[in-house]
Amino acid sequence: MTYDQMLQKLYGLKGSGLDLERILTLLGEPQKRLQAVRIAGTNGKGSVAAFLAQIWQESGYRVGLFTSPHLISPEERIQINRQLISSEEFQREFERVWSVIERLYGAESEQRARFFEILALMALDYFAHQNVDDAVIECGVGARRDATRVIASHVSVLTNVALDHTETLGPTIAQIAYEKAAVVSEGGMLITGESQPDALREIEREVSVKKAQLRRLDLEKISLVHQDWDGQIFSWHSWKDVEIGMLGAHQCANAVLALEAALALNDPQIDERALRAGLKKARWPGRMELLHKKPYVMLDGAKNPAGLSALRQALERLSFDRLMLVIGISNRKDIDAMLDAILPIADGVIATQAEFRGISAEFLAQKVREHGQRCRGIPRPSEALEQALAQANENDLVCVTGSLFLVGAAKRWWAERSQIV
């Protein structure tokens, strides 16, 4: 099987589900050889994972990081000390896991296996064989039925709860909170920045059922000291002048969640130096990622109304002349609410088609016009970004947003363009 054949097979797996515990037993129970922190939430969980992994790494540990989705290649999802698994190792892990699945399910393997389940199994097996000290595990959609549920963690994080993936998790905040609160392990600790009453009721119920501890953080008490295009400085209780390289006030909140999770681990190697260095050095591609200045070019994978609201608030604190928005949205999203969140600060809009379930550029452009903005529909993301750059002056901001799949396409195009230039 070639690498491309393997990827085609992997991407096509949409089965009914596997007995993950049974497969892990045959793999040698790799999940039991890891000290892990599991992270769930509607927005911000990838950033929290990046902050926490960097803190652990600065403390001298060998750290596995499992995240989703990827922007360019699936190897991004499985990292050790922020080094991606190689394509050769990725294929070897797939073949190792797949051989166990075929042993159990035979001809029914492809009817049972799911894409995300396979990746989770691959990551756990890889981390165990590579002798990582710790692992940071980002949940996929939800937590209760997510493939990462096989991992027990002394400390878990639930970033927040907002309306997204409602077709899978349910149409209300309470239902979504019920699914995500299951990230807490039996007898463990759950750290959350959530404050909505409907969500908190479900979170508190889950914590009680699992005889766990709950640490609620009042993230309103974060004090922003300074912000510019190169990063931010904030204070949090006794932690003064904490520096982070990620942009946006929401990233200060994510940094605090990671900081408190690291402190809750009560590890003497995680000292103040490691905490501050980890928070400062951490980066997370595709989240207010600045590619260029003069003009400013930014990628942000905000994919729901809450994410776009956070992006808007962050941009309102930065200095630039005009905002040129390149936006693409996947189907099954609340398009009107997403546009309501970001369009009021846009000076120009180009609609494009996000990869993977993206709605058509012209349909989205018409939606933008219904919101009172002039808009062109350009189906190909590369052409849409080229047009936005052609219109931008030196102090303008071109921001690509609305879908992580769109951000991935833009990131690929930018890298290819930079090589040519």
CATH number of 196's domain: 3.40.1190.10
Task: For 21-78, write each residue's pLDDT tens digit.
Answer: 999 999 999 999 999 999 999 999 999 999 999 999 999 999 999 999 999 999 999 9
From 249, 281, 313, the end of a domain falls on: 281
Give the chain's mean pLDDT: 95
- What is the model's pLDDT at position 241? 98
| Average of per-residue pLDDT across 331-354 | 95
- What is the model's pLDDT at position 199? 95
How much of the chain exceeds pLDDT 90, in percent?
Answer: 92
Q: Are residues 137 and 214 in the same domain?
A: yes
Structure tokens that stand for 365 in this block: 């452009």
> What is the model's pTM?
0.93
**First-to-last C-alpha distance (Å) of the chain:** 36
From 263, 281, 299, the end of a domain falls on: 281
Output helix, strand, coil percentages for the chain, rounded to the nearest 5. 45, 20, 35
Q: Are residues 25 and 54 in the same domain?
A: yes
Q: Residues 147, 20: contact at Cβ < 8 Å?
A: yes
CA 162 to chain centre: 14
- What is the model's pLDDT at position 97? 98
Q: Are residues 139 and 269 in the same domain?
A: yes
Q: Are residues 33 and 127 in the same domain?
A: yes
Integer Rg of the chain from CA? 21
- What is the model's pLDDT at position 357? 85
**Which region among 111-115, 169-173, 322-326, 377-381 has the lowest average model confidence (pLDDT)?**
169-173
Q: Could you give the number of structural domains in the chain?
A: 2
- What is the model's pLDDT at position 336? 96
Query: Which amino acid, residue 305?
Result: P
- Strands 323-327 and 296-300 turn out to be unpaired
- What is the model's pLDDT at position 392? 97
Structural domain including 304 reads 289-420
Confidence of residue 163 (pLDDT cuts 50, 70, 90): confident
Q: Are residues 314 and 255 in the same domain?
A: no
Q: Residues 161, 199: contact at Cβ < 8 Å?
A: yes
Q: Residues 66, 34: contact at Cβ < 8 Å?
A: no
| Average of per-residue pLDDT across 282-290 | 95
- What is the model's pLDDT at position 143? 85
Q: Are residues 96 and 174 in the same domain?
A: yes
Q: Are residues 315 and 185 in the same domain?
A: no
Please give the backbone phi and psi of residue 10, each rounded to the nearest 5 degrees, phi first. -60, -50
Which CATH number covers residue 353? 3.90.190.20
Task: For 361-374, write each residue's pLDDT tens digit.
Answer: 999 999 999 999 99
Task: For 201-211, write each residue's pLDDT tens digit.
Answer: 999 999 999 99
Q: Are residues 103 and 226 in the same domain?
A: yes
From 281, 312, 330, the end of a domain falls on: 281
Confidence of residue 420 (pLDDT cuts 50, 70, 90): low
3-state secondary structure of 111: helix
Structure tokens that stand for 272 in this block: 């103040």
- What is the model's pLDDT at position 355? 79
Q: Are residues 254 and 320 in the same domain?
A: no
- What is the model's pLDDT at position 356? 80
Distances (CA, A) of 270 to 54, 56, 132, 289, 384: 11, 7, 16, 27, 45
- What is the model's pLDDT at position 86? 98
| Strands of the sheet with 348-351, listed across from one edge | 289-292, 296-300, 397-401, 323-327, 348-351, 375-377
Helical pair 173-181 and 197-209, crossing angle rounded to 10 deg: 30
* For residue 272, pLDDT beyond 60: yes
* For residue 174, pLDDT beyond 60: yes
How much of the chain exceeds pLDDT 70, in percent?
Answer: 99
Q: Are residues 160 and 301 in the same domain?
A: no
Task: For 234-262, write each residue's pLDDT tens digit.
Answer: 999 999 999 999 999 999 999 999 999 99
User: What distance in Å separates the CA atoms of residue 338 and residue 310, rounded to the nearest whole number?
Assistant: 11
- What is the model's pLDDT at position 1? 87
Q: Are residues 42 and 69 in the same domain?
A: yes
Please give the backbone phi and psi of residue 142, each rounded to the nearest 5 degrees, phi first. 80, -150
Confidence of residue 417 (pLDDT cuts 50, 70, 90): confident
Q: Are residues 258 and 217 in the same domain?
A: yes
Task: For 387-400, write each residue's pLDDT tens digit.
Answer: 999 999 999 999 99
